[in-house]
C-alpha cells in the first residue's frame, strides 16, 4: 500500500477530453509578444496522464523559451529561459504562488510552503533558523545515517536471495522515516510497518499530485468533496495526519513548558529531542498550534517525496553509467574507509555530490514551478504579462535545454568542477534551479543534499545493484517526477575495500 505509483484514477471522461481539445488553442492573437502553442489531442492525453512537463519540453523546441498555452479554462505562460525565471522568482512581491496554493490548501492549510504576504514573511523567519548548521550535523549522525543503515540491513536478505526490489518504494519509505524524525521526532517506521498514518500521508500526497494535474478543479466545490469517493478519502486522510501532528505539538509543548525551556544560543539543539518542532516551541514565538501544525506539514510534504525521488533517479542514472558508479564507490571507500559518513566527511564526497547534482539537473522535483502575476509586468525580452496571468517556469526545460547546457540530455557529473562550488541558482545565474530561487527558495536545500549524500554513500558502500532487465523506465509526475512502474533492482552485498565493519557491530 506504500506503492506511490498508483495515481488516483482520473474522473475525467473521454467526451470531456474531446471537448477540451477543441478549446485548447488560443485563436485570438494578443499584443504580449508571446507565441501561442498549438496543442494536439496526443498532447492533451499526455497532460491528463500527468506527465505535463513532457509536452512542455516538446513545445519549447517548437515555440522557443517562452510561449502561451491554453488548457481548457486555464491559460499559462510557459517559461524555459533562465533570465525570465530569475526575474519571476526574484520578484516575489510581483508574483504569488497562485494555483499551487489552490491545489494544496486542503493539506497545507496556511503552512509556510503556500502562505502569502505578511503571514508567510513571519513564518519563513521563524522556520529558517531551525535548520542551522549544528542541527544538520546532529541529523547526519542521529537520523540520516541510522535510517540509511536500517534500510541496508533490511535489504540484505533480498540481496542474498536475489529478489528484485522496487527501490523507488524503498527510498520513499526511507525519506518518510527521515523527515518524520527530523521535523517532529516521530518515527513512522515505514520501512518496517504499515500504519494508518503512513497510509494517510500517501493518500494525501497522491491527492495533492492529482490536483496539480486536474484541469478542472472540481474539488473547489465543497458539496462535491462530500460525495466523491476520492475526495472523502483525501479528507479523512488529512484529518488523520492533522490529528497526529496536533498530538505531537501538544505533547512537545507540555514538555517545553514543564522544563521552562527557552532558546539560549543561535545554534540551539535539545539533546533529547533535536527536532524542528522542539526548536520552534523553545523559541517561544507567538504562534498558534494550528499554524505550527501547518508549517510542520509543509516541511513533511516538501521534504519527503522530493528527496525520495532524487535518490531513485540518481540510482537509476548510476545503474546506466558504470564509469560514474565505479568512481563514486571508489571515492566512498577512500573517504569513509568502511565507516558511516560524518558531517565533516560530506564535503569530501565531491564526486558523489556532483552525481546527485547532475541527477537533480536531469530530474528536477517539482519539474515545473508555478506563479501568478499580481499586477501587469514586462518580462526580460519585452514580453508583456497581464495581472492574474498564470506562469509555469519549466525547470525541466531550463535544465535540459540545448540553449542553456552543452550535451544537455547526457548524465555527465564531471561537467561540474570538483574543486568549484556546489552549483546553485546564484553561481549558475539561474541555469540550475532545482531548489527554486529568490525569497521563496527551498528552506531545506542543505538538509536534502546532506540526506541524499548520506543515504547514497551508505547504500553504495554496502550494496551493488543492477537494473532488472526488460524494464521500461518512463516518467510520470505530480509534485515530483516518478517512474511509471517502479524501479526494480537486483541487489548483491558488497565488501568495502577498506576496513569493513559490519553495520550490526557499530
Q: Site residues (CB under 6 A) for ligand HEM?
A: 112-113, 124, 298-299, 302-303, 306-307, 310, 365, 369, 434-436, 440, 442-444, 447-448
- Nearer to ligand HEM by Cβ, of 249 and 491: the residue is 249
Cα(227)–Cα(207) distance, integer angstroms: 16
* CB 309, min distance to ligand HEM, A: 8
- Nearer to ligand HEM by Cβ, of 303 and 341: the residue is 303
- Nearer to ligand HEM by Cβ, of 352 and 448: the residue is 448
What's 9's DSSP letter?
A: P
Rg of the chain taking only CA atoms, in angstroms: 23
What backbone phi and psi angles, to 5 degrees, belong to 272?
Answer: -75, -30
Q: Please check whether residue 166 is in contact with residue 478, taking contact to mean a CB–CB distance below 8 angstroms.
A: no
- Nearer to ligand HEM by Cβ, of 63 and 435: the residue is 435
CB atoms closer than 10 angstroms to residue 12 = 14
Distance of CA 360 to the CA centre of its chain: 10
* CB 175, min distance to ligand HEM, A: 8
Q: Please check whether residue 134 is in contact with residue 274, taking contact to mean a CB–CB distance below 8 angstroms.
A: no
* CB 394, min distance to ligand HEM, A: 12
- Nearer to ligand HEM by Cβ, of 169 and 295: the residue is 295
What's 263's DSSP letter?
A: -
- Nearer to ligand HEM by Cβ, of 186 and 435: the residue is 435
* CB 395, min distance to ligand HEM, A: 7
* CB 336, min distance to ligand HEM, A: 22
* CB 432, min distance to ligand HEM, A: 12
* CB 353, min distance to ligand HEM, A: 13
H/E element holding 393? strand 390-394
- Nearer to ligand HEM by Cβ, of 310 and 335: the residue is 310
* CB 357, min distance to ligand HEM, A: 11
Residue position matching grid coordinates 524542528: 276
Label residue 435 exposed, middle or buried (CB < 10 Å: 0-12, 13-18, 19+): buried
- Nearer to ligand HEM by Cβ, of 124 and 154: the residue is 124
Residue nearest to ligand HEM (CB): 444
* CB 143, min distance to ligand HEM, A: 12
Cβ within 8 Å of residue 160, ≥6 positions away: 493
* CB 458, min distance to ligand HEM, A: 17
Residue position matching grid coordinates 477540451: 20
* CB 183, min distance to ligand HEM, A: 7
Q: What is the DSSP string of 193-256?
A: ---HHHHHHHHHHHHHHHHHH-SS-GGGSHHHHTT-HHHHHHHHHHHHHHHHHHHHHHHHHHHH
- Nearer to ligand HEM by Cβ, of 85 and 335: the residue is 85
Cβ within 8 Å of residue 121, ≥6 positions away: none
Cell of 186: 516521530
Cα(118)–Cα(107) distance, integer angstroms: 21
* CB 22, min distance to ligand HEM, A: 32
Cell of 366: 517539482
Cell of 273: 529531542
Q: Please check whether residue 115 is in contact with residue 292, taking contact to mean a CB–CB distance below 8 angstroms.
A: no
- Nearer to ligand HEM by Cβ, of 37 and 136: the residue is 136
Residue position matching grid coordinates 524555459: 80
Q: Please check whether residue 138 is in contact with residue 275, taking contact to mean a CB–CB distance below 8 angstroms.
A: no
C-alpha angle 471-474-479 in degrees, rounded to nearest 5: 135
Cα(500)–Cα(101) distance, integer angstroms: 49
Q: Please check whether residue 441 is in contact with residue 86, taking contact to mean a CB–CB distance below 8 angstroms.
A: no
* CB 21, min distance to ligand HEM, A: 29
Cell of 410: 547526457
Q: How far apart are the first and last CA of the chain?
A: 33
- Nearer to ligand HEM by Cβ, of 423 and 434: the residue is 434
Q: 3-state class of 91 per DSSP?
A: coil
Cell of 498: 577498506
Amino acid at each position: 500500500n506504500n506503492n506511490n505509483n498508483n495515481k488516483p484514477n482520473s474522473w475525467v471522461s473521454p467526451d470531456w477530453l474531446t471537448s477540451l481539445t477543441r478549446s485548447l488553442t488560443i485563436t485570438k492573437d494578443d499584443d504580449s509578444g508571446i507565441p501561442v502553442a498549438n496543442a494536439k489531442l496526443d498532447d492533451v492525453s499526455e497532460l491528463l496522464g500527468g506527465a505535463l512537463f513532457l509536452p512542455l519540453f516538446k513545445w519549447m523546441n517548437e515555440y522557443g523559451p517562452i510561449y502561451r498555452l491554453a488548457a481548457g479554462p486555464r491559460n499559462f505562460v510557459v517559461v524555459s529561459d533562465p533570465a525570465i525565471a530569475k526575474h519571476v522568482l526574484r520578484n516575489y512581491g510581483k508574483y504569488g504562488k497562485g494555483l499551487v496554493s489552490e491545489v494544496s490548501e486542503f493539506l497545507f492549510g496556511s503552512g509556510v510552503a503556500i502562505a502569502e504576504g505578511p503571514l508567510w514573511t513571519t513564518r519563513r523567519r521563524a522556520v529558517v533558523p531551525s535548520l542551522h548548521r549544528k542541527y544538520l550535523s546532529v541529523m547526519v549522525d542521529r537520523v540520516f545515517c541510522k535510517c540509511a543503515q536500517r534500510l541496508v540491513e533490511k535489504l540484505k536478505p533480498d540481496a542474498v536471495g536475489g529478489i528484485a526490489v522496487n527501490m523507488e518504494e524503498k527510498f520513499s519509505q526511507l525519506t518518510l522515516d527521515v523527515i518524520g524524525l527530523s521535523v517532529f521526532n516521530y518515527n513512522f517506521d515505514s520501512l518496517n510497518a504499515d500504519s494508518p498514518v503512513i497510509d494517510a500521508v500517501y493518500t494525501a500526497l497522491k491527492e495533492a499530485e492529482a490536483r496539480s494535474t486536474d484541469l478542472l478543479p472540481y474539488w473547489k466545490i465543497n458539496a462535491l468533496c462530500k460525495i466523491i469517493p476520492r475526495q472523502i478519502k483525501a479528507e479523512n486522510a488529512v484529518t488523520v495526519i492533522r490529528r497526529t501532528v496536533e498530538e505531537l505539538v501538544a505533547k512537545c509543548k507540555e514538555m517545553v513548558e514543564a522544563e521552562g525551556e527557552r532558546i539560549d544560543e543561535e545554534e540551539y539543539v535539545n539533546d533529547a529531542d533535536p527536532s524542528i518542532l522542539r526548536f520552534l516551541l523553545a523559541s517561544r514565538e507567538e504562534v498558534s498550534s494550528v499554524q505550527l501544525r501547518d508549517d510542520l506539514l509543509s516541511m513533511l510534504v516538501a521534504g519527503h517525496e522530493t528527496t525520495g525521488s532524487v535518490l531513485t533517479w540518481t540510482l537509476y542514472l548510476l545503474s546506466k553509467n558504470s564509469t560514474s558508479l565505479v568512481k563514486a564507490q571508489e571515492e566512498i571507500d577512500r573517504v569513509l574507509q568502511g565507516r558511516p559518513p560524518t558531517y565533516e566527511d560530506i564535503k569530501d564526497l565531491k564526486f558523489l555530490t556532483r552525481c546527485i547534482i547532475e541527477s537533480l539537473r536531469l530530474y528536477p522535483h517539482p519539474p515545473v514551478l508555478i506563479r501568478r502575476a499580481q499586477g501587469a509586468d514586462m518580462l526580460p525580452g519585452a514580453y508583456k504579462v497581464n495581472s492574474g496571468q498564470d506562469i509555469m517556469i519549466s525547470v525541466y526545460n531550463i535544465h535540459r535545454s540545448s540553449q542553456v547546457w552543452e550535451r544537455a540530455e547526457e548524465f555527465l557529473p564531471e561537467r561540474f568542477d570538483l574543486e568549484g562550488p556546489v552549483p546553485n541558482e546564484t553561481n549558475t545565474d539561474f541555469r540550475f534551479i532545482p531548489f527554486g530561487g529568490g525569497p521563496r527558495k527551498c528552506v531545506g536545500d542543505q538538509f536534502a543534499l546532506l540526506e541524499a549524500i548520506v543515504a547514497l554513500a551508505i547504500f553504495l558502500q554496502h550494496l551493488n545493484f543492477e537494473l532488472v532487465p526488460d524494464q521500461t523506465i518512463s516518467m510520470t509526475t505530480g509534485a515530483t517526477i516518478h517512474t511509471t512502474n517502479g524501479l526494480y533492482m537486483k541487489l548483491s552485498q558488497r565488501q568495502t575495500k577498506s576496513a569493513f565493519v559490519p553495520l550490526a557491530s557499530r
